[in-house]
């Protein structure tokens, strides 16, 4: 089970999304997951091996690394991407439930083309609208939470070159040097920017859905 | 055979599961297997190479690592996930057996054309009769495996927390030696995460079990209060072999026994004027 399988699972959701939702999914897969897999993982690949402290004291390096990096950027991004893509499955489950209900309706009636029913796109109305809006809301919340967690854990988004560590068993204040700090800062800012774009897309989609629903309401009442 | 292969195998079971079963399967694949593969494996990747002991004594490192980590978290999780997902295959095997029986019935009654065979393969089996028992057993085994592994984790790694420092005095270490574990905080975070998802899965399994039991009781009480309904779903399958033999006899004597009637009866749908001799 890897990112490819997640792509297959979410590809099905794509059909039921709005246009903005389809753009969001593309941005997610190409500018975030793909960048994570082909680039970011190799930048952070030697993060602990090449974390060097100015001491021969065994254990000092491990402890200092653990102190400054409670959870690595790569793992945080992986968790963020998993959490952010999962609300779309709520929509997929709702659509599957609607299809199942439709099949049951027609079971005793006229015969319908099962293949056509599988491919049919449902309009985002009624309870499906609420499910879709909830999934958008959760996506935005998860993105915001992870951006805050990043900011809180790493005091801003910049990777320093040098960290001073005095955790036991380091004998005194010891200089520790992070590997590839500039490259890491570049990728952190990139992922942050794309995350911001995704938040904007989600907000735009939410506004679009709300406007569409409001526009339908006066038409119904007139 | 890797996690993707397991996903392919279990996706087939998905069709015959309850709604809670499908949610459980999604949680397993997305929040446990996927997190294991894309995140946790790289956290534990350097667990031995970065395990440092404050000694130059050859062998002390290896011995201490082996003493404190008899089996790595990653391997335990992999075993847990495999054992927890495998009972679903019992259900898959039972469904395949039932489909095979239906196909044999079709052949016997002379309706063995490609279209009807495809219909047998594609229609969803109702969870009633012997399939209900198989399904319930699979859920019980899932619960058991989850609980056993959580207990093993607790025994091997008390408190689920990863220490930064462990003190080791196994031979050939010369005295009590400080050993430092790599990335203890990250490991604790992932251990807690996997623990939480494991508990969510236990709750989902218990909910599914309760749902199945309540549904079966409701069906039984409905059947008891309305015995001539001819639904034949629970009891029809209970006496499945006599039921099927009765069906075959009926079909052989009746001139216009339609295939749809038989398939619908087998899947327990109500049909007006059904004669259910086994109910």
A132 touches chain B (CB under 8 A): no
Round to whole Å and give the CA distance between B240 and B104: 14
Residue B276 has what pLDDT? 36
Q: Span A166-186, mean pLDDT?
A: 90
Q: Span A133-141, mean pLDDT?
A: 94
**CA atoms lying within 13 Å on the CB side of residue A190:** 18
Chain B CA closest to residue A89: B26
Task: Name the nearest CA neighbour of B177 among B70, B68, B55, B59.
Answer: B55
Number of domains in chain A: 1
Chain A CA closest to residue B6: A1
pLDDT tens per residue, range B139-157: 999 999 999 999 998 888 8
Instruction: Measure B90 CA to nearest chain A CA, in Å.
Output: 22
Chain B CA closest to residue A79: B35
Q: Span B257-264, mean pLDDT?
A: 48
Residues of A in contact with B33 (CB under 8 A): 1
Q: What is the CATH number of the domain that holds B137?
A: 1.20.1440.80
CA A203 distance to own-chain centroid: 15
Nearest to A71 among B31, B54, B185 (CB): B185
Residue A177 has pLDDT above 60, yes or no: yes
CB atoms A71 and B186 under 8 Å: yes
Specify if A1 maps to a domain.
no
Chain A CA closest to residue B54: A58
Specify if A140 maps to a domain.
yes
Specify if A83 maps to a domain.
yes
Q: Span A175-197, mean pLDDT?
A: 92
Confidence grade of residue B179 (pLDDT, cut at 50, 70, 90): very high
Q: Span B192-220, mean pLDDT?
A: 93
Specify if B252 maps to a domain.
no
Residue A156 has what pLDDT? 80
Specify if A190 maps to a domain.
yes
Round to whole Å and give the CA distance between A62 and A27: 36
Q: Which residues contact A210 (CB under 8 A, 6 or more apart)?
A: A133
Q: Span B230-240, mean pLDDT?
A: 43
B170 touches chain A (CB under 8 A): no
Q: Select, from the ranges A1-5, B85-89, B209-213, the one with the highest average predicted confidence (pLDDT).
A: B209-213
Specify if A219 maps to a domain.
no
A204 touches chain B (CB under 8 A): no
Domain with B93 in it: 8-45+73-162+185-221
DSSP state of B159: G
Residues of A in contact with B3 (CB under 8 A): 1-2
For residue A130, give the H/E element and its range: helix A127-153
More confident residue, B155 or B226: B155
Domain with A206 in it: 20-45+77-159+182-213
Q: Span A176-204, mean pLDDT?
A: 92
Task: Give the pair of three-digit tokens for residue B224.
Answer: 């008891």
Q: What is the CATH number of the domain that holds A39?
A: 1.20.1440.80
Q: Which residues contact B257 (CB under 8 A, 6 or more apart)?
A: B109, B250, B251
Q: Which of A60, A62, A79, A85 to mutate to test the interface with B (most CBs of B within 10 A)?
A: A62
Nearest to B182 among A2, A9, A48 (CB): A48
Specify if B145 maps to a domain.
yes
A65 touches chain B (CB under 8 A): yes
pLDDT tens per residue, range B12-52: 788 888 889 989 998 999 999 999 998 998 899 888 888 99
DSSP state of B228: G
**CA–CA distances in Å: residue B70 to residues B45, B50, B172, B185:** 16, 17, 18, 20
Q: CB neighbours (10 Å) of residue B131? A: 19
Residue B275 has what pLDDT? 39
Residue A11 has pLDDT above 60, yes or no: yes
Looking at this predicted complex, what is its ipTM?
0.78
Residue A116 has pLDDT above 80, yes or no: no
pLDDT tens per residue, range A40-62: 888 898 888 889 999 988 899 99
Chain A CA closest to residue B4: A1
The residue to which tokens 């949610």 are assigned: B23
Residue A108 has what pLDDT? 62
A-B Cβ pairs (cutoff 8 Å, strict): 101
CA B273 distance to own-chain centroid: 39
Nearest to A2 among B38, B43, B53 (CB): B38
Residue B210 has what pLDDT? 95
Number of domains in chain B: 1
CB atoms B31 and A3 under 8 Å: no
Round to whole Å and give the CA distance between A4 and B9: 17
CB < 8 Å from A in window 39-68 of B: 39, 42-43, 46, 50, 52-55
Specify if B139 maps to a domain.
yes
Specify if B57 maps to a domain.
no
pLDDT tens per residue, range B81-138: 999 998 888 888 888 888 888 888 888 887 767 777 777 676 777 777 888 999 999 9
Q: Select, from the ranges A70-79, B126-135, B269-278, the one with the highest average predicted confidence (pLDDT).
A: A70-79
């Amino acid at each position: 089970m890897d990112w490819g399988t997640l792509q297959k699972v979410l590809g099905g959701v794509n059909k039921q999304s709005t246009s903005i939702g389809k753009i969001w999914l593309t941005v997610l897969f190409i500018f975030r997951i793909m960048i994570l897999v082909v680039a970011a993982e190799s930048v952070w690949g030697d993060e602990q091996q090449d974390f060097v402290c100015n001491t021969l004291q065994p254990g000092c390096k491990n402890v200092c690394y653990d102190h400054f990096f409670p959870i690595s950027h790569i793992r945080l991004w992986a968790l963020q991407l998993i959490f952010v893509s999962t609300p779309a499955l709520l929509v997929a489950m709702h659509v599957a439930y609607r299809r199942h209900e439709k099949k049951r309706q027609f079971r005793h009636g006229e015969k319908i083309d099962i293949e056509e029913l599988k491919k049919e796109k449902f309009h985002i109305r009624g309870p499906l609208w609420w499910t879709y809006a909830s999934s958008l809301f959760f996506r935005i919340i998860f993105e915001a939470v992870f951006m805050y967690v990043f900011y809180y854990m790493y005091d801003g988004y910049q990777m320093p070159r040098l960290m001073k560590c005095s955790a036991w068993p380091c004998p005194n204040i010891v200089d520790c040097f992070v590997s590839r700090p500039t490259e890491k800062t570049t990728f952190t800012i990139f992922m942050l920017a794309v995350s911001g774009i995704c938040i904007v897309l989600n907000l735009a989609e939410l506004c679009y859905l709300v406007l569409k629903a409001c526009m339908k309401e006066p038409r119904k009442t007139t | 055979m890797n996690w993707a292969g397991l996903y392919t195998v279990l996706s087939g079971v998905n069709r015959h599961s309850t709604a809670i079963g499908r949610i459980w399967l999604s949680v397993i694949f997305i929040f446990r297997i996927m997190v294991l593969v894309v995140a946790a494996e790289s956290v534990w990747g350097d667990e031995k190479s970065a395990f440092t002991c404050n000694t130059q004594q050859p062998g002390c490192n290896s011995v201490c690592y082996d003493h404190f980590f008899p089996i790595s978290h990653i391997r335990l999780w992999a075993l847990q996930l495999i054992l927890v997902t495998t009972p679903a295959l019992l259900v898959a095997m039972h469904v395949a057996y039932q489909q095979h029986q239906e196909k044999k019935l079709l052949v016997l009654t002379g309706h063995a054309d490609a279209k009807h065979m495809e219909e047998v393969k594609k229609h969803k089996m109702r969870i009633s009769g012997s399939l209900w028992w198989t399904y319930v057993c699979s859920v019980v085994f899932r619960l058991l495996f989850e609980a056993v592994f959580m207990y093993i984790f607790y025994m091997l790694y008390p408190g689920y927390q990863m220490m930064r420092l462990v003190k080791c005095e196994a031979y050939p270490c010369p005295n009590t030696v400080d050993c430092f574990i790599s990335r203890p905080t990250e490991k604790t975070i992932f251990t807690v995460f996997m623990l939480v998802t494991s508990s969510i899965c236990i709750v989902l399994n218990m909910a599914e079990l309760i749902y199945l039991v309540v549904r079966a009781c409701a069906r039984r009480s409905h059947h008891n209060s309305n015995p001539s309904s001819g639904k034949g779903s629970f009891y029809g399958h209970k006496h499945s072999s006599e039921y099927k033999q009765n069906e075959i006899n009926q079909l052989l004597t009746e001139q216009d026994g339609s295939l749809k009637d038989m398939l619908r009866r087998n899947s327990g749908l109500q049909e007006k004027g059904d004669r259910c001799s086994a109910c």
